[in-house]
């Protein structure tokens, strides 16, 4: 006979009907039962199929919409969406901004993570860069130089564009989306990490070194140039004159 404590188990949790509907619809989407860009059955059809009321269907559908998995348009059936990595990053934007706004140490950690991320990213760009990529990078650097003394805001935007263009050269959608996200959050909460006011010419010189290494397909030189470029930003991160 089993000992009494061997029979001690957690009680079976009662689930909301909307949770069950959500799980079933999600499984249909994940397994291809509902293909990307296809329409999901109407609320009435789902109510009949699952034997539940309208509130359970609507709550489940709203959860799927918040996850970016379906699009709901008034007067039409919901449509299955195939989110990109960029869409996923945008989904967490508000949560990320909240963390950065309420946890000061997270800004430092983001800056540290950027160093590791961009060094690896530029290695890949130096390996894969083609003539068309070099043209885009040269154009990005030229736009930044054009705003050297006239428009600090556009200088920073062009600075970010140079880095995100490097990300695009990797042909990796995850790297590109994360690059956009990191730079966007840094620009919102620590703009000085992207702009060393009064020393813009140093940023341009450092970008030139990075680009020259990419052109030469020299992965080590590109990584070192990027490391030095971002290390300056990291060391000066706590200073109001820091930049990157």
Note the pLDDT tens digit of each residue in 70-91.
999 988 999 999 889 999 899 8
Tell me, what's the pLDDT at 91? 87
Q: Which domains does the chain have, with CATH numbers?
A: 17-83 (1.10.10.10), 88-235 (1.20.120.530)
Residue with tokens 């154009």: 139
Q: Model confidence over 167-180: pLDDT tens digits?
A: 999 999 999 999 99
Q: Which residue has the higher pLDDT, 44 or 107?
A: 44
Q: Specify the pLDDT at position 236.
A: 54
Residue 232 has a pLDDT of: 80
What is the per-residue pLDDT across 188-233, written as a single tens digit (0 to 9) for each? 876 555 555 667 788 899 999 999 999 999 999 999 999 999 988 7
Cα–Cα distance, 10 to 123 (Å, whole number): 51
243 band by pLDDT with thresholds 50, 70 and 90: very low
- pLDDT of res. 9: 66
Mean pLDDT for the stretch of residues 47-59: 95
User: What pLDDT is attached to residue 241?
Assistant: 42
Judge whether residue 234 has pLDDT over 70: no
Rounded-to-integer distance, Cα 181 and Cα 23, Å: 30
Give the per-residue pLDDT at 153.
79
Structure confidence by residue, pLDDT tens digits, 100-124 = 999 989 988 998 899 999 999 999 9
Flag whether pLDDT at 19 surpasses 80.
yes
Which is it for the CA torsion 163, 100, 196, 200, positive or negative?
positive
Residues 235 and 188 sit within 8 Å (Cβ to Cβ): no
Three-state secondary structure readout of the chain: CCCHHHHCCCCCCCCCHHHHHHHHHHHHHHCCCCCCCCECCCHHHHHHHHCCCHHHHHHHHHHHHHCCCEECCCCCCCEECCCCHHHHHHHCHHHHHHHHHHCCHHHHHHHHHHHHHHHHHHHHHHHHCCHHHHHHHHHHHHHHHHCCCCCHHHHHHHHHHHHHHHHHHCCCHHHHHHHHHHHHHHHHHCHHHCCCCCCHHHHHHHHHHHHHHHHCCCHHHHHHHHHHHHHHHHHCCCCCCCCC
119-165 residue pLDDT tens: 999 999 999 999 999 999 999 999 999 887 777 778 888 999 999 99
Among the listed residues 226, 237, 235, the one whose alpha carbon sits nearest the alpha carbon of residue 186 = 237
What would the mean pLDDT of 43-55 be, rounded to a whole number?
95
**244 has a pLDDT exceeding 80:** no
Predicted confidence band of residue 242 (pLDDT cuts 50, 70, 90): very low
pLDDT at 74: 87
């Amino acid at each position: 006979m089993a000992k009494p404590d061997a029979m001690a188990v957690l009680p079976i949790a009662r689930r909301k009907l909307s949770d069950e509907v959500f799980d079933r619809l999600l499984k249909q989407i994940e397994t291809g039962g509902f293909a990307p860009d296809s329409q999901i059955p109407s609320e009435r059809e789902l109510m009949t199929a699952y034997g539940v009321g309208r509130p359970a269907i609507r709550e489940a559908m709203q959860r799927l919409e918040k996850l970016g998995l379906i699009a709901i348009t008034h007067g039409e059936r919901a449509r299955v969406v195939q989110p990109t990595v960029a869409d996923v990053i945008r989904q967490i934007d508000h949560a990320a901004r909240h963390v950065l706004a309420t946890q000061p140490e997270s800004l430092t950690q983001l800056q540290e993570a950027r160093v590791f991320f961009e060094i690896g990213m530029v290695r890949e760009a130096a390996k894969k860069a083609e003539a068309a990529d070099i043209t885009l990078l040269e154009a990005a650097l030229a736009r930044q130089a054009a705003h050297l003394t006239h428009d600090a805001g556009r200088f920073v935007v062009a600075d970010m564009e140079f880095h995100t263009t490097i990300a695009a050269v990797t042909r990796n959608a995850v790297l590109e989306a994360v690059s956009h996200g990191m730079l966007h959050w840094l620009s919102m909460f620590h703009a000085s990490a992207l702009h060393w006011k009064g020393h813009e010419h140093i940023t341009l010189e450092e970008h030139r070194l990075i680009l020259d290494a990419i052109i030469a397909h020299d992965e080590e030189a590109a990584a070192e140039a990027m490391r030095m470029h971002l290390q300056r930003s990291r060391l000066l991160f706590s200073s109001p004159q820091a930049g990157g």
